[in-house]
Structure 1
């Protein structure tokens, strides 16, 4: 698939799957052997694991991702994003508390034949954990 086609696949993942919750669309957007290099606790492997991840994020954090930059070359797509959400359900063993967060992140995807195949993730996990109350912030410590 073309670089532009790969970017379109990544965009659909954020806009339709993560933001709108169209999890079944992952059957079309990702390969069965999808590999993530930073799984969430309890996340299985493969395509079912990607569905686990999306379900955990959507039910626990009600995320809204805004794509700020997207760069692609060959079989790789890099997405720089901002995620705004609220802790509306259990996440990583912590019950819902309604606290909001806004965090930046960068994802790198490798695609095979226009489908998501591999994923690397860099996110402000400390900032998110502080904002949703998983750990105290510097002011609260």
Structure 2
């Protein structure tokens, strides 16, 4: 039987880093509550995760996520992740931090908070003024 940490790692490694959407159907509850800003919330659970993966991989070409720190406490997995790839519009390499909090129940992802550092991304591609 998979642990919640193993389920989380599958989402990160196979889903976001490899673009494999199959785990979403197994891991997500139909009533997934998503808290990430601008994520779709008008569709059931697995399609929410699939849309997030597809959007992330469109936004950053060659996207790879690496878990740098993780804590599993009860039904919740907390992680700090480094996302790297290439901005498709500018061609510039990018690297941002992502904070993820995922709550599981009965082997399913039921609630998620994803917080990508979008300001760092905008700064790296030149959309924000340079630091003084």
Q: Structure 2 length as normaliser, TM-score?
A: 0.86
Q: What is the distance in 1 between the residues matched to 2:125 and 2:111?
A: 28
**1:8-51 residue CA offsets vs partner (Å, 9 max, x unmatched):** 0000000000001111220011111212112326x344322221
59-68 vs 5-14, greater mean Cα deviation:
59-68
Structure 2 alignment gaps of length 5 or more: none
5-14 vs 49-58, greater mean Cα deviation:
49-58
> After the TM superposition, which residues 95-110 of structure 1 pair with which residues of structure 2 at under 5 Å, given as runs?
96-110=89-103
Structure 1 alignment gaps of length 5 or more: 89-95
4+ runs deviating over 3 angstroms: none
**1:61-109 residue CA offsets vs partner (Å, 9 max, x unmatched):** 1321001111111110011111111122xxxxxxx22122111221111
Q: How many residues align?
A: 129
SS at match of 1:57: helix
Where is the strand percentage greater, Structure 1 or Structure 2? 2
Partner of 1:51: 50
Alignment RMSD (CA, Å): 1.9
